[in-house]
Structure 1
Amino acid sequence: MTTVLDQRYQLLEQIGEGGMATVWRGLDLRLRRPVAIKALGAAMLHDPDMRQRFWREAQTIAALAHPAIVAVYDVSVGQDRAYVVMELVDGPSVAQVLESGPVPVAQALDIAAQTCAALTAAHAAGVVHRDITPGNLLLAGSGALKVCDFGIAAWEQDAYPALVAGTPGYTAPEQARGGPVDARTDLYGLGCVLYALITGAPPGPAAVPPHPAPPALADLIGRLTAPDPADRPESAAEVAAELDRLRADETAATQLFTAAGPATTRVMAAQPPAGRAQVPVPGPATAVDLPAVPVGRRGGNRWLRPVLVACGLVSAVTAVMLGLLLLQSAGQRAGVPMAGATSGPARSVAASPVAAARPDALLRSLTQEVDRLADSGAVDDRTARDLRKRLSDLDKRLRKDAGEGRSQAEDFIDRLQDLRRDGRLSPEAYDRLAELSGALVAALPRDNGNHD
């Protein structure tokens, strides 16, 4: 026997469940159309604040009539039952899509652009979603995207500093601290979604660039996920304009597969708890004369900042090599020569002997790090042997063909992900090894396919 709510809405099939509510596929018996019905859980019905929040969600979405936002048809809140009747999106969430791995860069840009359209409408109405995640982005069969679940949305003028709710891995630092939120809070979530679309997981504390994203897209993601809201783009409309330029660039739309080859390569850090933005520096850093990098009107690229304090986290030599590799990449993205730290004439990073460090030096650093982790007990003997064997094979490959070695280095990163997923690598060990491996991949030439 099926359940019918208020003699109108028939519950057909449960299609989702969260901590507070259950979502059903339903049928509007009066209008004969399919609907989604979000019913508040029985444990929450007795909480007047939760019932009020349910009202708020319905009112919030109803005020945001936009094709990229799930529409609300009806709402009912009582002492014994509370539900919202919404548009049924017959398709997967972006989170479900990501279960199969990263998506092509063109699809990532399209998802981000449609999300920006919804956020532009929400922010214009003074509404901050506060939980932009792959699970709250639904894809219809036509490819149209719908933003859903405004359950913790806040009217911007209210700010709700005490409400910290969000999703780990996608929550902006200011929200995690319980501070005021604004449109840039949602842009942080969008940046994390873009990162996940490219790599398969949201960014972690190691600030690993979203390989293999095109440089311009990596730069945008870095600014979106800047820890300081002041370093992020100011509006969803501004981000949409950048995405339009990227989408119009056919090179950006194809570069993912050019870089990754037949098997998509992922570089991702472990998902940290909310409020992960700060990078601790346990000891004094060795002074290093690093070049200054012009990064536009805001200096918010998160891929550069952690490198400047990395000497307190790793050995000085490794930190300098990794830092200069990333700084060189940033200079190429900016399209301008990199100025020296002093007022002398401009010089390129390539002029520095440290920046010219060979891949074999980076490979030695990786091997030494595996040894250090094994000696400290952070990695068990079996895992250490596995990693040493792979690094030894990679060394032999690099001596034979550096181009093919790049592909094998990318395979090593995939192996790190498998070990982390299986619990054989701690998040800290994974972050450290993935960071060094990413630097190695960046230092290796691409395989041009000529092996005569």
Structure 2
Amino acid sequence: MTLSSVVAALPQYAVGEQIGEGGMGVVYGGVHRQLGRPVAIKRLPAAVAEDPRMSERFEHEARLLARLDHPHIVPVYDYVRQHGEHLLVMERLDGGTVWSRFASDGLTAQQSCGIVLAALSGLHAAHEAGVLHLDVKPKNLLFTANGLVKVADFGISQVVSEGATLVTHGGAVLGTPAYIAPEQALGNALTPAADVYATGTVLYELLSGDLPFERGGGPIAMIQKRVYQEPRPLTTVPEPLAGVVMRSLVRDPSARYRNAETFAVDLAGAAAHLFGPDWLMRLQMPVHLAPQVSSARPSARPAHPRDAISITQQPIRATLVDPVPAARLSGSSTLVPAAQVIKAPTSPWWLWLVAAISLLALVVVPFAVTGRELPSFPTNLSEPVTVEGQRLTVSLAGIQLADVPRGPEGFALPGAARWVVGGAVTAAADGREFLLVSNQTPWLSIMGTGSALLLLFTLAYLESNLRALRRRQTGVGAVIASVPLGFGLGLAVWLLVSVLLDREPTLPIAVTCGVLGAAAGISAALASKR
């Protein structure tokens, strides 16, 4: 369709030049001929007019949008459906977008909090009227000439996609994948929590200069990260503000703020705590808040004074040139729900198999390999050992613990050796080898208690490493650390079994168990690093 069809559908408006374009349509400037009021004319894609069901849905949604009356929502003046066109006539705002200001001059933390509070105020009003936005991003937050923030493009994404995220077969995404909620990407039921997530992403970006997930990989990979990974902690921002932002980005919608207003209440309290109770007045940004938001008390959580000072003074700029561009909705586009395209990141199955086999072998080897058959000599190590010979040596896996001559009552082991020995150790007297077995409880010895503690320590740290790798909270360092942790796990299993079964703790079995533990640890770490 040509511009002439837009002109023909809007005889009461003087239609001007194109002033914007996105995946959901083209925007033209215009002026109402009788009122002289400047307007923005949103021309929806031809695919809307060509699909009768979509056309009806949008007409219904347009009536809802026209009833929205809030100072932080771009008002819809008119909706026209003529000459094959679907046109929304809205207030024209020439103050620029939040994105343009963020990318050029930058925004202070106070300004960012004020902008997001204004957006949340408008979003909550829309949610109360039954309208979800589903495409909240800095480019859809616009300034009036006097600095008032207004949210634009309400409901268009919801009508076009019926709430689901759509992608082309080429991998382009209809919408903005950088700010999309996990449940929206998966095509699940949507609530105001989806807009909470997108607005939280905007706030994260404005406060840090970057998005909450690693860049790269294209739009499909960007959506996958939001569905299957945890966002990076907001370490550059002090508490309690960081905690408020991170709660808005929880993957589970039920664990997020239930609506925009509860998000705004906590955000206002955190901002008051960091910047002072009168921070909005000093900011001189017009923000219209509900009484429960404007009366929010400063958070009681402590903040580091130096952090609070630095965050109030430094403007933050965007580090991205522009988020991943969206697909354009056209009649020739073949769009499918993103849930059909994105898949949970998988790891090579053989890595998990290697980890499982290594772990199984680690458990079996200490029980199956008994070592040498040596005679046992049970004794109370707190008393002299009464075996024949002139000199007694005691060793643990080749490490000498004691070398003592015979005394009047036998061989008196030094105190350190008595505390170490639990279960059996290798002993030799005048060339004759035997197992020296303590008849005291092994849990009073370093061999017994130490092996149990080492087992618990290595298991806990390995599990923590694997969890961090799955959540993308760490990288190569955790993979490398899994080798010594796995080796320690193998040694702990070997020593604990030797102690409990009174078997000779030999070095070959110790090394074998350590290598098996290291193999299990690094295989599991590589498999977890999807």
TM-score by length of 2: 0.50
Question: In the TM superposition, what is the alpha-carbon distance from 1:217 to its structure 2 partner?
Answer: 1.7
Using the alignment, how far apart are the partners of 1:198 and 1:67 within structure 2?
A: 24
Using the alignment, how far apart are the partners of 1:37 and 1:161 within structure 2?
A: 24
Residue in 2 aligned with 1:223?
Answer: 247
Matched, 1:187 2:196: yes
Aligned residues: 308
Question: In the TM superposition, what is the alpha-carbon distance from 1:154 to its structure 2 partner?
Answer: 4.6
Question: Structure 2 counterpart of 1:64, which letter?
Answer: L
Using the alignment, how far apart are the partners of 2:119 and 2:264 within structure 1?
A: 9
Q: How does 1:29-178 map to 2 (within 5 A)?
A: 29-42=33-46, 44-100=48-104, 103-152=107-156, 154=158, 160=162, 162=164, 164=166, 166-178=175-187
Which segment drifts farther, 38-47 or 84-93? Answer: 38-47
Residue in 1 aligned with 2:443?
Answer: none
What SS does structure 1 have at the residue aligned with 2:146? coil
Matched, 1:287 2:459: yes
CA contact (8 A) 1:51 1:77 kept: no
Check 1:99–1:312 CA distance in 2 against 1; reply closer, same or farther (3 A cut).
closer
Check 1:278–1:105 CA distance in 2 against 1; reply closer, same or farther (3 A cut).
farther
What SS does structure 1 have at the residue aligned with 2:177? coil
Matched, 1:238 2:247: no
Cα offsets for 1:336-389 (capped at 9, x unmatched): xxxxxxxxxxxxxxxxxxxxxxxxxxxxxxxxxxxxxxxxxxxxxxxxxxxxxx
Check 1:280–1:143 CA distance in 2 against 1; reply closer, same or farther (3 A cut).
farther
Matched, 1:258 2:282: no
Using the alignment, how far apart are the partners of 2:155 and 2:275 within structure 1?
A: 39
5+ residue gaps in structure 1?
293-304, 321-430, 433-452
CA contact (8 A) 1:4 1:10 kept: no
Question: In the TM superposition, what is the alpha-carbon distance from 1:102 to its structure 2 partner?
Answer: 5.0
Answer with 1 or 2: which has the greater Rg.
2
Q: How does 1:314-333 map to 2 (within 5 A)?
A: 314-316=476-478
CA contact (8 A) 1:212 1:266 kept: no
Q: How does 1:377-416 map to 2 (within 5 A)?
A: none
Question: In the TM superposition, what is the alpha-carbon distance from 1:15 to its structure 2 partner?
Answer: 1.0
Residue in 2 aligned with 1:15?
Answer: 19
Pick 1 or 2: higher relative contact order, CA cutoff 8 A, min separation 6. Answer: 2
CA contact (8 A) 2:468 2:474 kept: no
CA contact (8 A) 2:232 2:473 kept: no
Question: Structure 2 counterpart of 1:69, which letter?
Answer: I
5+ residue gaps in structure 2?
167-173, 214-224, 280-305, 327-337, 356-457, 483-528
Greater strand fraction, Structure 1 or Structure 2? 2
Check 1:6–1:233 CA distance in 2 against 1; reply closer, same or farther (3 A cut).
closer
Using the alignment, how far apart are the partners of 1:16 and 1:35 within structure 2?
A: 13
Question: Structure 1 counterpart of 2:200, which letter?
Answer: G
Question: Structure 1 counterpart of 2:460, which letter?
Answer: V
Using the alignment, how far apart are the partners of 2:55 and 2:253 within structure 1?
A: 32
CA contact (8 A) 1:160 1:180 kept: no
| Identity between Structure 1 and Structure 2 (%) | 36
